[in-house]
Chain A
């Protein structure tokens, strides 16, 4: 038909050739930043840093110096050390919570997408109930009852991320289950377990992995918000969110106390978003076809 000619033209329009190269630089910069942050966080105890909790009332809000590279905070604690230890909290919660979502949501989604029927309705229905609350409200409410601790926080945010992972896993399982290699495996008499683990899992993992990185970015923001409100990790543990919250009090005299952790958090969230988005674009079947 005449439309065929147009299709060719549109394909050319919607495919900017520059995109690949341009994303490349940013992508690797993001990876570099993430590696740096993770390394610093992992080796925080080994690094020659002052304690993040030792207060020095004589040196409150001290400027940058040889002793305190990034100065000290409102209670005279070393800012750099608190930033690095804060990275640990943000990363531990930010990575562990989506792992919970990935494992449970991924499993539920795959089972629902593969077996369909009543089980699928049950899973989708119960997830809809979880989604019937604004996520932050639910997180706040449950934290209030369970009590503030890193473990509880991770658990709650993990549970809240289950529905999203379930949706991604179910959607890709639904499409994959109709593909030839699955039908062939079924025809050859493979067990359900074998089809799920050997045929479907490796293929569902790709979109899930990309989504995982975007999930880390979201969880870091939510953890930061809760800690900022004073309802996340309990003091005196430093987290970027609680540091920004404390820095807000001295915005007029020492804005850097809020802006340093803010910059660290922004860069980390941005890096996870960039890497996740690039991976998603790679695994997106619609874009892969072009």
Chain B
């Protein structure tokens, strides 16, 4: 990661007013993505990772309050005029949503949805936009792309739809792609294909990518850096190899332990993380993970740990009793 990264998220905070009080969905998050780099954002449901992606895209619900800075290519997206932001979206900043069943418009053809993006940003005429759409569909592995243009989303399978959504996202050669749980809604057999497609296109086009997922296994071989989120905060951030070699945060460890492995015996129950994430409208005074943490000590319940540096400046974590160091101290 370089200092002048393509995207830097600085102290971003998202508050949502709800009938039960204020909900802090994202709590002072700092992240960086360099050009051509990939960042994995991992966390359980409701940890704020989707809200973070929506904050970067400036697609939060109207009532949401957003503060901090989202610097993209030297511009603060929060301060950007709506028209400039619009020209950036789809052109330099693209997204693939979780559920291809709901993210494609059911009453517009695949062709319309592809071509409108191309024509909006690249000023192509009808013929070249159509030609380009066919190329894009072929590139994302859709057979008989010419026929697909006239079809509607409901005529394609879920995996095919997600490929279409990826084709739309890639259409204007964006510099950053945000993939928000792109495989969660798909069949297990399709998931790896879609992830590999994303990784391949990311490398080929040299675009930066933020891969958001709840599955630590997904980011393992496919990202340069990983940020683990819990209750709206980044609790551990490291280059991917470093994280898997020596994770510090007990939550990261618990996430990893919850993954099914090939080497465990069949029918062994998975060690699920006990308890539930805290109610985001009732923030805890201490570490948000402390009620579920097996290393939690008295101090964990009263004070919030700040992000601390580990061996390298790239690896930070928020824990008073990090793994490894905790064990060494106990020994």
Contact = CB atoms under 8 A, between A and B. Distances in A.
Decide if A and B touch, CB cutoff 8 A: yes
A8 B50 contact: no
A2 B19 contact: no
Interface string B34-68: 00000000000110111100000000111110000
The residue among A2, A6, A9, A10 with the most chain B CB atoms within 10 A of its own CB is A2
A193 interface: no
A13 B23 contact: no
Contacts of B98: 1-3
Nearest to B102: A3
B195 interface: no
A9 B65 CA distance: 11
B19 A4 contact: no
Contacts of A5: 25, 46, 48, 50-51
B27 interface: no
B224 interface: no
A147 to B, nearest CB: 52
A4 B46 contact: yes
A10 B61 contact: yes
B19 A11 contact: yes
A175 interface: no
Interface in A1-49: 1-6, 8-13, 15
Interface residues of A, number: 13
Contacts of B17: 12
A13 B51 CA distance: 16
A8 B45 CA distance: 13
A12 B19 contact: yes
Given A2-B45, A2-B49, A8 B62 contact: no
A13 B50 contact: no
A9 B16 contact: yes
Contacts of B225: none
Interface residues of B, number: 22
B184 interface: yes
B236 interface: no
A13 B62 contact: yes
B103 to A, nearest CB: 12
Interface string B159-195: 0000000000000000000001100100000000000
Nearest to B281: A8
Contacts of B61: 6, 9-10, 12-13
Nearest to B49: A2
B63 A12 contact: yes
Contact of A12 (B18, B51, B180, B184): B18
A10 B17 CA distance: 10
Nearest to A2: B50
Contact of A9 (B18, B48, B99): B18
Contacts of B48: 5
A196 B70 CA distance: 61
Contacts of A4: 45-46
A9 B48 CA distance: 12
A109 B297 CA distance: 64
A5 B281 CA distance: 12
Interface in B1-33: 16-19, 23, 25
A271 to B, nearest CB: 31
A285 B17 CA distance: 24
A1 B62 contact: no
Contacts of A1: 45, 98, 181, 184
A9 B63 contact: yes
B7 to A, nearest CB: 20
Contacts of A10: 61
The residue among A3, A5, A9 with the most chain B CB atoms within 10 A of its own CB is A5
Contact of B64 (A2, A9, A11, A15): A9
A10 B184 CA distance: 22
Nearest to B45: A1
A290 to B, nearest CB: 8
B249 to A, nearest CB: 21
A6 B23 CA distance: 12
| Nearest 9 CB-CB pairings of A with B | A2-B50, A9-B61, A12-B18, A9-B16, A8-B18, A1-B45, A12-B17, A4-B46, A12-B63
29 contacts: A1-B98, A1-B181, A1-B184, A2-B45, A2-B50, A2-B180, A2-B181, A2-B184, A3-B98, A3-B99, A4-B45, A5-B48, A5-B50, A6-B50, A6-B61, A8-B16, A8-B18, A9-B16, A9-B18, A9-B61, A9-B64, A11-B18, A11-B19, A12-B16, A12-B18, A12-B61, A12-B63, A13-B62, A13-B63
Interface of A: 1-6, 8-13, 15
Given A2-B45, A9-B18, 14 more contacts: A1-B98, A2-B49, A2-B98, A3-B98, A3-B99, A4-B45, A4-B46, A5-B48, A5-B50, A6-B61, A8-B16, A8-B18, A9-B16, A12-B18
Interface of B: 16-19, 23, 25, 45-46, 48-51, 60-64, 98-99, 180-181, 184
